[in-house]
């Protein structure tokens, strides 16, 4: 790691691989915490505004489908990364464009969005959809765009071709 400039606080050195690694790790944790907080917000919103049923009972349990998909997609991503021995705590050595990454450039964010959508359907009130929208906007601005900038710098033309071929979400 590059030492910080004289008089600068520790850990404030120029951005580099170690700095980006810390940002990525803390960003993933923060995104997971955000999902948990938004799930809790859904519960609160469904109690505060129980009007506006989305589906007639028992059809709200159709939400189990996107909820389970939302749980399975991050597991598939993890399995794919382990297969090529990529850890998410360092910059990638290869651009993965097959498997789940052939359908979405951001499958973990997609999985979390599906999980939240499924939970909103299960809560079965319109107010529970608000946290889904909040997640999509926050993930897009805070996680996806910075990651895409890093990938573009790292892989250049190869990533540009991938972006043209594969959509951001689905």
Task: Compute the distance between CA of residue 121 and CA of residue 65 in angstroms, rounded to an integer.
Answer: 10
- Asked whether residue 10 carries a pLDDT value surpassing 50, the answer given is no
The model carries a pTM of: 0.81
As to burial, measured by CB atoms within 10 angstroms (0-12 exposed, 13-18 middle, 19+ buried), residue 112 is: buried
Task: Compute the distance between CA of residue 45 and CA of residue 128 in angstroms, rounded to an integer.
Answer: 6
Question: What domains, with CATH codes, occur in the chain?
Answer: 19-165 (1.20.120.1630)
Q: What is the pLDDT of residues 97-135, one digit of tens each?
A: 998 999 999 999 999 999 999 999 999 999 999 999 999
Angle (CA) 82 103 80, round 5°:
5
Q: What is the pLDDT of residues 14-37, one digit of tens each?
A: 445 555 555 555 667 888 899 999
pLDDT more than 90, % of the chain: 66
């Amino acid at each position: 790691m590059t030492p910080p400039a004289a008089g600068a606080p520790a850990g404030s050195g120029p951005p580099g691989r170690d700095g980006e690694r810390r940002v990525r790790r803390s960003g993933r944790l923060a995104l997971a915490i955000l999902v948990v907080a938004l799930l809790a917000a859904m519960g609160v919103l469904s109690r505060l505004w129980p009007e506006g049923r989305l589906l007639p009972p028992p059809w709200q349990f159709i939400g189990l489908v996107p909820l389970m998909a939302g749980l399975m997609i991050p597991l598939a991503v993890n399995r794919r990364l382990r297969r090529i021995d990529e850890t998410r705590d360092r910059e990638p050595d290869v651009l993965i464009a097959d498997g789940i990454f052939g359908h979405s450039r951001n499958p973990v964010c997609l999985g979390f969005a599906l999980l939240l959508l499924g939970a909103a359907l299960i809560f079965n009130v319109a107010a529970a959809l608000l946290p889904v929208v909040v997640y999509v906007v926050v993930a897009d601005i805070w996680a996806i765009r910075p990651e895409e900038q890093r990938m573009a710098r790292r892989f250049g033309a190869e990533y540009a071709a991938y972006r043209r071929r594969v959509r951001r979400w689905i």
